[in-house]
C-alpha cells in the first residue's frame, strides 16, 4: 500500500506500508490481535517530553537527524494501542519497502 505525502514542495513523497489483514476477534480493538496492522521501516530521532510533563511528547522533535538504523515497525490501529500517535515526522526520502 502506498501513501502520498505532500511536503509543500514540488513533488510528493511515497511511503510504502505492508498491510496485514487478520480476522476480527471477539474484541475488535484488542492490542493482542488487531484485525489489521501495517508494517514499515522507521528510524528513531531525538524527541523529548513536553516541559513539565512526564508522558507527553514535545510539540516538535529536538532534531530530525536519525539516531540509529532503520527498523521494521508494526503500526496498530489507533483504538488498539496504549501509546497513540496521530503524526510521525518524515525525515529524508523514504526507500521502497519490499518485505
The Cα–Cα gap between 47 and 63 comes to: 7
In tens, the pLDDT along 69-90 reads 888 888 888 888 777 776 677 7
- Domain boundary assignment for the chain: 2-43+70-80
- Cα end-to-end distance, the chain, whole Å: 12
pLDDT of the residue at 48: 84
Q: Which residues pair with 20 in a beta bridge?
A: 37
pLDDT at residue 13 is higher than 80: no
Mean pLDDT of the chain: 76
User: pTM for this one?
Assistant: 0.64
Between 34 and 1, whose confidence is greater?
34
pLDDT at residue 40 is higher than 70: yes
pLDDT at residue 94 is higher than 70: no
The Cα–Cα gap between 82 and 93 comes to: 29
Convert 23-75 into a string of H (helix), E (strand) and C (coil). Answer: CCCCCCCCCCCCCEEEEEEECCCCCCECCCCCCCECCCCCCCCCCCCCEEEEE
Between 95 and 22, whose confidence is greater?
22
Share of the chain above pLDDT 70, in %: 73
Measured at the CA of 19, the angle between CA 83 and CA 36, to 5 degrees, comes to 55
Amino acid at each position: 500500500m502506498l501513501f502520498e505525502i505532500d511536503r509543500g514542495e514540488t513533488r510528493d513523497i511515497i511511503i510504502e506500508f505492508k498491510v496485514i489483514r487478520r480476522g476480527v476477534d471477539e474484541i475488535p480493538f484488542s492490542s493482542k490481535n488487531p484485525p489489521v496492522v501495517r508494517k514499515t521501516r522507521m528510524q528513531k530521532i531525538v524527541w523529548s517530553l513536553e516541559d513539565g510533563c512526564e508522558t507527553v511528547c514535545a510539540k516538535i522533535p529536538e532534531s530530525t537527524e536519525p539516531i540509529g538504523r532503520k527498523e521494521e515497525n508494526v503500526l496498530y490501529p489507533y483504538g488498539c494501542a496504549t501509546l497513540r500517535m496521530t503524526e510521525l515526522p518524515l525525515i529524508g526520502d523514504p526507500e521502497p519497502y519490499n518485505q
